[in-house]
A and B are shown apart, each in its own frame.
Chain A
Amino acid sequence: MIKLTINGSPREVDAEPDMPVLWVLRDLLGLTGTKYGCGEALCGACTVHLDGEPVRACVTPIRRAEGRALTTIEGLSPTGEHPLQKAWTELGVPQCGFCQAGQIMCAAALLAANPSPSDEDIDRSLAGNICRCGTYLRIRAAVKKVAKP
């Protein structure tokens, strides 16, 4: 049994220590908001927070999360009203929506560390999150909408 905190609640999961966090979330806990994109840390769709830091759940073994706090898109805000989630909806950022949980988790970590990012900061932080629909311009606009001037 591996003990950790997921979205604010203490959890015990019966998983092999090497099992990637992504599959613990999706297959053992039914938290399917975190997406499987590539499985090789190349696309960012599976981004979650480990003690507030963005990590790729598909290549992070669950043992690394032992005793620590994991946050997924389901737990980013209890009501789904994180400023980024509101901005994303207001600006109609998503198209197919598949990568957007990872985009938001990455952007949330950026803003937590740097509430006033420059355009360059935003582009650099989100460069590893791929969007096949090409919603990059709206993603940047939504981050800027939430960022402090």
Chain B
Amino acid sequence: MSFEVTRRGFLAGLSAATAGFALGVRFAEGSNKGLFIPNAFIQIGHDGLVVITCHRSEMGQGIRSSLPVLIADEMGADPAKILVRQGDGDPRYGDQNTDGSTSIRNFYEAMRMAGAVARTLLITAAAQRWKVSPDGLTTRMDAVHDPAGKRSFAFAEVAPAAGLLPVPKTATLRPRAELVHVGTELPLRDGPAYVTGTAQFAADVRLPNMLVAVIARPPALFGKVAKVDSAAARSV
């Protein structure tokens, strides 16, 4: 499926619900210092590390193990090697409220589009280096491959050049059969962190000069505040 890419996102062919989100998928503007940042979800650094943002909250449904794989599979990155970064409330991710079992339903296509734009740019950069048409090129396992020339470029080799290319006007989703990870049982991304105590839950966040507030609940149902004496709390 081909879709139109605009500076404001991927608008063509999306449902109203997803289009609202797609407005948030803006492209990096201006200089990117050699990094490849085709949109707010994807970054390839100088070391070739593919960093993918998960903009939904993990709460046991496995969204950090699945959503980023849609992007990785579409762009041809190895999901075992990507780093998943948690979406941090940047408005470009849109409303990050996570509920109702809708993350995959609403973002299946949009995540793939984000990955497809990245793939298009990486292939274009490789085609320019090889001086061939981009049409026959493909991506898999963190590299752009030229089947005719029997050669390949690791993403790290072409990412800086891809980062300087203009956003393509259109991009195309892979045929479903070309997706190798979607639809398979995926490893639990945070499994090792959970079993070693290193996973960070909300209550584990420590920030400099952080204050801790605790809700005082009434001892009776429908209780109303009669008076507040904060003297003891303020003396802490």
Cross-chain contact of B194 among A36, A74, A94 (Cβ < 8 A): A94
Task: Give Cα distance in the complex from A34 to B61, angstroms.
Answer: 22
Could you tell me the distance in whole angstroms from the C-beta of B188 to the nearest C-beta in chain A? 5
| Residue B209 is within 8 A (CB to CB) of chain A in the complex | no
Of all chain A residues, which has the CB nearest B58? A96
Task: Give Cα distance in the complex from A96 to B61, angstroms.
Answer: 7
- State whether B194 touches A30 (Cβ < 8 A): no
Cross-chain contact of A34 among B192, B193, B194, B197 (Cβ < 8 A): B197
Within 8 A of B (CB), among A1-44: 30-36
- State whether A73 touches B58 (Cβ < 8 A): no
| Residue A101 is within 8 A (CB to CB) of chain B in the complex | yes
| Residue A118 is within 8 A (CB to CB) of chain B in the complex | no
Task: Give Cα distance in the complex from A104 to B192, angstroms.
Answer: 13
Of all chain A residues, which has the CB nearest B186? A92
Of all chain B residues, which has the CB nearest A32? B204
Could you tell me the distance in whole angstroms from the C-beta of A22 to the nearest C-beta in chain B? 12
A101 proximity list for chain B (CB < 8 A): 194-195, 197
Interface of A is mostly: loop
B195 proximity list for chain A (CB < 8 A): 73, 80, 84-85, 88-89, 93-94, 100-101, 104
| Residue A112 is within 8 A (CB to CB) of chain B in the complex | no
Interface of B is mostly: loop
- State whether A30 touches B206 (Cβ < 8 A): yes
Cross-chain contact of B196 among A30, A33, A35, A96 (Cβ < 8 A): A33
| Residue B62 is within 8 A (CB to CB) of chain A in the complex | yes
Cross-chain contact of A97 among B187, B199, B203, B206 (Cβ < 8 A): B199
Could you tell me the distance in whole angstroms from the C-beta of B113 to the nearest C-beta in chain A? 29
A85 proximity list for chain B (CB < 8 A): 192, 195-196
Of all chain B residues, which has the CB nearest A134? B60
A97 proximity list for chain B (CB < 8 A): 60, 190, 193-194, 199, 201
Of all chain B residues, which has the CB nearest A94? B194
| Residue B198 is within 8 A (CB to CB) of chain A in the complex | yes
| Residue B191 is within 8 A (CB to CB) of chain A in the complex | yes
Of all chain B residues, which has the CB nearest A31? B197
- State whether B60 touches A73 (Cβ < 8 A): no
Could you tell me the distance in whole angstroms from the C-beta of B11 to the nearest C-beta in chain A? 35
Of all chain A residues, which has the CB nearest B188? A92
Task: Give Cα distance in the complex from A88 to B203, angstroms.
Answer: 23
Complex interface bits, A112-149 against B, C-beta within 8 A gives 1, otherwise 0: 00000000000000000000010000000000000000
- State whether A74 touches B197 (Cβ < 8 A): yes
- State whether A88 touches B62 (Cβ < 8 A): no
Could you tell me the distance in whole angstroms from the C-beta of A67 to the nearest C-beta in chain B? 24
Task: Give Cα distance in the complex from A104 to B195, angstroms.
Answer: 8
B60 proximity list for chain A (CB < 8 A): 94-97, 133
Could you tell me the distance in whole angstroms from the C-beta of A85 to the nearest C-beta in chain B? 4
Within 8 A of B (CB), among A67-91: 72-74, 80, 84-85, 88-89
Q: Which residues from chain B sit less than 8 Å from chain A, CB to CB? A: 58-62, 187-188, 190-201, 203-204, 206
Q: Could you give 17 example pairs across A and B, Cβ below 8 Å?
A: A32-B200, A33-B197, A35-B203, A36-B203, A73-B196, A73-B197, A74-B198, A85-B195, A88-B195, A93-B195, A94-B191, A97-B60, A97-B190, A97-B199, A101-B195, A101-B197, A133-B60
In the A-B complex, the 4 residue pairs with the closest CB atoms: A33-B197, A96-B60, A97-B194, A73-B197
